[in-house]
Chain A
Amino acid sequence: MTTLEDPADLVLVARDVRFDWADLPMHWLPGEPVGTHVLNVLHLLLPAGERFFVDLFTQALPRIADPDLLEQVRGFIGQEAMHAGAHDEVLEVMRAHGVDPRPYTDQVEWIFDRLLGDGTEAFFVERLAIVAAVEHLTSVLGDWVLHADALDGAHPVMLDLLRWHGAEEVEHRCVAFDTLTHFDDSYLRRARAMVLVAPVLTWLWCRGALFLTAADPACPRRAHLVDWARLAWAGVVPNPLRLGAQVAKWFRPGYHPSQDGSTAAAVRYLATSPAANR
């Protein structure tokens, strides 16, 4: 069977998802408390970032002079707001299980509110570049989670959250990049943003895994760097080498996010996601 080209020109709209967390176990990756927490870091790390995206792109909206891009940014904002809300719900569940994520989330919020808070006009565009770089990483992760068969044994509601989020990241992967280039197409600026974003996020992720495995009394031991290799081998976290290769594509001159990732895979998942099809 031949295929069509990947669907393009998508109208982006937030989906009214609902998740039922009533029976989510603390370690939703069966037999893998450390692996659970490595992925749990996403719930701690993403909401503050996504609220930052929403605020920044809301500021950008009145200045966008392309009606199609405007509509896409409008949809992007709604999708990111829903992502943040969904991850926040998981934090509530973690609290109920006796893990307080606050010390870590306070720091993440501080990074986005203060370190990346208001600034000059030049910094406004720089922040768009930072978001575009983060969105490159989230779309790479989204593509990974849609195809990570090793996660199929995870708790279904959590798996649906991760894949729904991943699918929307793939679906809207061009928006932040196109918004950045709408204001500034400097290669230097976008390259520089990734030089900052990729190491800092990797470091924050590792730090979060250490924090959570220490904060969870039911977790037998703290995470260790070796765990990353072990979990990547098992396929339940992204392979760092492959991740690095995909991140490196960002630095190709002439790169555009449409060259990577599969909208078709995202569309396929979203048509089956329990949360998105209530």
Chain B
Amino acid sequence: MTAVPRDLRGRDRPDRAMATLAAVGGAYRSLARRPGRAPTPVDRTLHLRVAERVVVADGVVALRLAAPDGRPLPVWQPGCHLDVGLPSGRRRQYALTGDPADRRGYRVAVRAVPGGSGSAEMHALAVGDAVAVRGPRNAFPFVVRPRMLFVAGGIGITPIAPMVRAAARLGVDWRLVYTGRTRASMPFLDVLRSPRVAVRPDDEFGTPTDLLATALAGAAVYACGPPPMLDALRADLPASRATALHVERFSPPPVVGGRPFRLVLARSGVTLDVPADRTVLDVVREVRPDVSYSCRQGFCGTCRIGDTLICTDRAAGDRLVLDL
């Protein structure tokens, strides 16, 4: 065994307690004889078909996805999303917006975004088309509180709608503020009819400024919408009567304003190109799938190689060298 650390109280001798622990550790290590198994690969893909396609608002298509044999699908809770594999190979996440009690189909609603490749592919799907999905997973966990304020901006209504229905069913004292550009662009208005719902299209009410005004004292806010709306909510929360703000955990933002550069992996002598719109991590993963990373936003530090956080850092000039 390796040298035992010095005595904890500074006496000039190896620490006796640590020496004992080393003996225990050695005995324990000798008990570990049996190796683990090679894990059996698990395929989490659900092979579904488009069972229904409805235009639910200007530029918004709702799809119902179901198993070809009609068998029940894995359960989900309000706030869950599906990870959809598109025909091009791209993957996109869409919030589930139907009824969790309906086990035969998943409902998602997609707004066509100008220049948005994922939404264009989703809109192009027709009834009967095959779609491979993974999930449902929950990045927006819903916890019932006595008083709740829901805030939805445009297509952000998709995860909020099942939460509102659950809150109503469970006797919550709830409110919903639903904003959008125009009434015609806002889906599900027909099913959200209640005195508790404030519909606030910009063309009638102007850009909303007081989204938390109707929050009851101690209310938990669940919000989904464009980033500026969420930033405004975050800023307004302390001065409001609401006490908690729940938002969806987003995947990292795409690279904007990056410049392409050369990446040199010094130890392996490999040179790679990092394009303007990709991270060092993306490029390294192609040749080193085992490389460590987690947050992909430059704060957790698990991807650090030397002084470089490969998930966000870029070359200062036209070349970056990694000790890899």
Contact = CB atoms under 8 A, between A and B. Distances in A.
Interface string A39-80: 000000000000000100010011111111101001101110
Chain B at the A interface: SS class: loop
Interface string A1-32: 11111011111011010000000000000000
B262 to A, nearest CB: 27
B171 A2 contact: yes
B81 to A, nearest CB: 8
B53 interface: no
A122 B35 CA distance: 4
A124 B36 contact: yes
B5 A106 contact: yes
A277 interface: yes
Contacts, number: 184
Interface in A242-278: 263-264, 267-268, 271-272, 277
A20 to B, nearest CB: 16
Interface residues of B, number: 69
Contacts of A263: 141
Given A2-B170, A7-B79, A114 B144 contact: no
Interface in B121-135: 134-135
Contacts of B135: 9
Interface in B245-262: 245-246, 249
A189 B35 CA distance: 11
B55 interface: no
Given A13-B249, A122-B32, A122-B33, A207 B17 contact: yes
B270 interface: no
Contacts of A120: 32, 35
A268 B36 contact: no
A71 B40 CA distance: 17
Contacts of B36: 121-122, 124-125, 128, 183-184
- Size band of the A side of the interface? 35 or more
Contact of B170 (A4, A63, A68, A79): A4
B139 to A, nearest CB: 4
A104 B302 contact: no
A148 interface: no
Contacts of B145: 268
A11 B246 contact: no
Given A11-B249, A271-B245, 13 more contacts: A3-B170, A7-B79, A9-B136, A9-B138, A13-B295, A68-B137, A114-B2, A121-B36, A264-B143, A268-B143, A272-B243, A272-B244, A277-B245
Closest 3 CB pairs of A and B: A78-B294, A183-B36, A7-B141
